[in-house]
Amino acid sequence: MTNIVLEAQNLSKSYNGLQAVKDLSLKVEEGEVFGFLGPNGAGKTTTINMLCGLLRPDSGLVLLHGKAVTNGSKETKAMVGVCPQNIVLWSKLTCLEQLIFVAQMYDLPERKARENAKRLLHELNLEEKSHKRAGTLSGGMQRRLNIAMALVHDPQIIVLDEPEAGLDPQSRVSVREYIQSLSRKKTVILTTHNMDEADRMADRVAIIDHGQLLVMDTTQALKAQTGDGDILEISLTNGLTDAETANRALIGFADKVSYEENSHSLHIHALNSIAHLPAFLERLINAGFAPGEVKIRQTTLEDVFIQLTGRRLRE
Amino acid sequence: MKTLIFVRKTLLELWRSPQLILIYLFFPSMMVLMYSFAYGQSSGMASYLTVLVVNQDEGQLGAGFIEAMRKAEFDGKAAITVIEDLSPNQAEVMLDEGKAAMLVTLPSEFSAAILKDLPEPVQIEMLGDPLNDTYAFAQSFLQGLLHIYTDKLTGWQQELPTKIEFLPNTGTLNDFQVGMPGIVIFGVLFGVITNALLLTRERSDGTIKRIQLSKARAAHYLGGITLAGLILSLVQMAITFGVAALVGFKPVGSLPLAIGIGVLAGLSATGAGFIAAAFSKNEGEATGYGTALMVPLVFLSGAIFPMPVTEWFSIFGQSVQPYDIMPSTHAARAMSKVVLYGQGINNLGYELILMILLSLVIIVIGIWLYQRNVLSETR
């Protein structure tokens, strides 16, 4: 039986008449990596801020272990560690100094604070930089220190807002591995607009757009909703873009056909798509389409998003 | 204790910000040096009494009076420098440039008027700039001198109704020395801008979010900054009075008491800094709002120049003026009392109590505003 550590019930928030989050409800289970996926401006950070107590919702409740918490309560603060999207460090303090300082702000005694700080610096490969001022670190190191600041007080729930943003590929891998190691001991809530990041790291994903929760499930279940098999992307070179016509043309061969506006391409979900490719092309040409470039790939969360919204995650 | 971790952090960050810490610690000393250079060369009020004389007297008494002026003493030193034989143009230029206190013209009937007691009084012209404080002093001094001179000649025995005296050691104070208490308070109050910048940097860098997310409260954070400010004020005061001693200034009263007053005056600078930071989103705004608060605290307190006496009401015999709502007014008064008049803590009760109370009021307002505008979770 899963243990729900964090629950949002009907959260809503507006800014100057603009609805940032609308009637959002979700549950986060203990020990999972929960992903928030959505384009920029979808309401991810606003939701996270409400869950962490940085922002008071216009309506709705946040429950921590089943107990309603008032925003900014000490309970919430002690149990949640937040790594913001922007790098937020005291540039004049060394890595060790600021980790100890943050830990002490959460009432950890100095000895324990120092212990945690040194352990985290070691785990995040920053041990050599312990006595260097944060302002002198590279971007990747600063981002790792940013993550360490969220963990130093040993919270049960860790919120990571776009943790891989601005990292080089090597650093991304090490951060990803570190987050996955955390999930065995902590509950991790991850926000991202990077579908690969969500796909690789999250156990369950909630897709959010325009402040509303569109869908929430495991990544496999979400991808399965879009259809079986692989996806063929066929770009179209003439004006005919009607997905209905394409569906009729490919009936019996393809599971689902959709049109993606930005790339002017048809996305065809089908089993054995390589084998059926000549037949697909012939039928599409007969139906009046002018196929161009052909790509084949596996279903991604972006396909889920496109199916739900008709747009890509990256506009 | 959470407040102490903020003290440590603030001091560390300031120590590692050379520009900010140097300005904070050395700004009052720079003011002392500049003031000393500009005003510290003369030896007191009396040395400014350069008097130009045009002697039109047909008798001998005019020359006698001029001689009496040359011999007149104040506080054991020659009081007046007399310059004769100037053309009207030269005299006017000297008066305009402030190089002389006044132009005295002794009329042709000067001797006759003293000896023969003429039916019409004789007018002795004393021309000068009434805005120039040396003119007022010279006028008063010369009138007294003239009475003494004429009474001696006429055998008139009378006690002079007034005698001009200054408080000990003050008559020979030059403008730098007189201005020293105000300079110190001005320097302390510059801390308004420094504190505003420190707090606003936290906001513009985003690190305020870390504090909001933690269990620390506004009182811990701002209390830590206040304590750090007191420590730095102590160092600042020690440096300021040290530099003042190097240019020849020593407080008449207790130096530790003077330093203590300066440190406590720093409390109001801290509180005003909180208020400025509550409305500032970036360092430019912090400087602007900080200056807007600092200027009235300095200039309306009487620290730099005396404010006209305007009594609102009196309480237990103590006159209360509009400027008394500012802690800097009492800080400036207390500092003057100690540094210029040598008074002790027993004579400073009113000033110290009001300075501390009003500073605490400003700090509480600053904390409330900062909590509401910056640290509050309601957005």
Taking only the tens place, the pLDDT of each residue in B224-243 is: 999 998 999 999 999 999 99
Task: Using a pLDDT cut of 70, give the percent of chain B over it.
Answer: 85
Q: Which two tokens stand for residue A209?
A: 């757009």
Domains of chain B as residue ranges with CATH: 2-41+174-375 (no CATH), 45-154 (3.40.1710.10)
Residue that finishes a domain, picked among A172, A193, A223? A223
Q: Report DSSP state, residue B207.
A: T
**Residue A153 shares a structural domain with residue A288:** no
Instruction: State how many domains chain A has.
Output: 2
User: CA-based angle A154:A160:A163, to the nearest 5?
Assistant: 120
DSSP assignments along chain A, one per residue: -PPEEEEEEEEEEEETTEEEEEEEEEEEETT-EEEEE--TTSSHHHHHHHHHTSS--SEEEEEETTEE--TT-HHHHHHEEEE-SS----TTSBHHHHHHHHHHHTT--HHHHHHHHHHHHHHTT-GGGTTSBGGGS-HHHHHHHHHHHHHTT--SEEEEESTTTT--HHHHHHHHHHHHHHHTTSEEEEEES-HHHHHHH-SEEEEEETTEEEEEEEHHHHHHHT-SSEEEEEEE-SS---HHHHHHHTTTT-SEEEEETTTTEEEEEETTHHHHHHHHHHHHHHTT--EEEEEEE---HHHHHHHHHSS-S--
Q: A264 near A241, Cβ under 8 Å?
A: yes
Q: Which two tokens stand for residue A68?
A: 């309603």
In a domain, A268, yes or no: yes
**Residue A236 shares a structural domain with residue A197:** no
Say which of A55, A90, A153 has its CB closest to residue B379: A55
Q: Which two tokens stand for residue A43?
A: 């309401």
- Residue B53: which residues within 8 A CB-CB, separation 6 or more? B66, B69, B82, B83, B84, B103, B104, B105, B106
Residues of B in Cβ contact (< 8 Å) with A53: 213, 377
CA distance A93 to chain B (A): 7
Residues of A in Cβ contact (< 8 Å) with B12: 92-93, 97
User: Do the Cβ atoms of B9 and A93 come within 8 Å?
Assistant: yes
**Residue A285 shares a structural domain with residue A178:** no
**Residue A260 shares a structural domain with residue A129:** no
Which CATH number belongs to the domain containing residue A247 in this structure?
A: 3.30.70.100
- Residue B18: which residues within 8 A CB-CB, separation 6 or more? none
CA distance B213 to chain A (A): 6
Say which of A54, A78, A91 has its CB closest to residue B212: A54
Give the other-Cβ count within 10 Å of B2's Cβ: 18
Please enumerate residues of B whose Cβ is less than 8 A from a Cβ of A.
Answer: 2, 5, 9, 12-13, 16-17, 205-207, 209-216, 377-379
In a domain, A309, yes or no: no
Pairing of strands A157-161, A187-192: parallel
Beta bridge partners of B50: B81
Please enumerate residues of A whose Cβ is less than 8 A from a Cβ of B.
Answer: 52-56, 71-72, 74, 77-78, 80, 82, 84, 86, 88-93, 97, 101-102, 104-107, 133, 149, 153
Q: What does chain A come to in residues?
A: 315
Angstrom distances, CA of residue A91 to CA of A128, A142, A164, B228: 17, 10, 21, 19
Say which of B17, B206, B378 has its CB closest to residue A56: B378
* Domain that includes residue A98, residue range: 4-223
What's the rounded Cα separation, in Å, for the pair A96 and A102?
10
| pLDDT at residue number A86 | 87
What's the rounded Cα separation, in Å, for the pair B48 and B100?
7
User: Do the Cβ atoms of A91 and B205 come within 8 Å?
Assistant: yes
Q: Which element (helix H / strand E) includes B73?
A: strand B73-74
**Residue A108 shares a structural domain with residue A232:** no
pLDDT in tens, chain A (315 residues): 578 888 999 999 998 888 889 999 999 998 899 998 888 888 888 888 888 777 888 999 888 888 887 655 667 778 889 998 889 999 999 999 999 999 999 999 999 999 999 999 999 989 999 999 999 999 889 999 999 999 999 999 999 988 887 788 888 888 888 888 887 788 999 888 788 888 888 899 998 888 889 889 888 888 877 766 778 888 888 766 677 787 778 777 777 777 776 778 888 877 777 778 888 888 888 888 888 888 888 878 877 887 777 666 654
**Residue A209 shares a structural domain with residue A277:** no
**Residue A262 shares a structural domain with residue A207:** no
Q: What does chain B come to in residues?
A: 379
User: CA-based angle A143:A145:A150, to the nearest 5?
Assistant: 100
In a domain, A304, yes or no: no
pLDDT category of residue B46 using cuts at 50, 70 and 90: very low
For an interface test with A, the pick among B21, B210, B375 (most A C-beta atoms closer than 10 Å) comes out as B210
**Residue A45 shares a structural domain with residue A192:** yes
Coil, helix or strand for B104? strand
Say which of B17, B211, B214 has its CB closest to residue A92: B17
Pairing of strands A80-83, A157-161: parallel
Residue that finishes a domain, picked among A223, A258, A288? A223
In a domain, A306, yes or no: no
Residue that finishes a domain, picked among A208, A223, A238? A223
In a domain, A315, yes or no: no
B289 pLDDT above the threshold of 80 = yes
**Residue A142 shares a structural domain with residue A285:** no
Choose among B317, B332, B328: nearest CA to B295: B328
Q: Report DSSP state, residue B308.
A: P
In a domain, A282, yes or no: yes
**Residue A29 shares a structural domain with residue A74:** yes
pTM of structure: 0.76
Q: Residue A258 is which amino acid?
A: S
In a domain, A292, yes or no: yes
What's the rounded Cα separation, in Å, for the pair A245 and A289?
9
**Residue A140 shares a structural domain with residue A245:** no
Choose among A210, A201, A138, A197: nearest CA to A165: A197
**Residue A137 shares a structural domain with residue A260:** no
Which CATH number belongs to the domain containing residue A116 in this structure?
A: 3.40.50.300
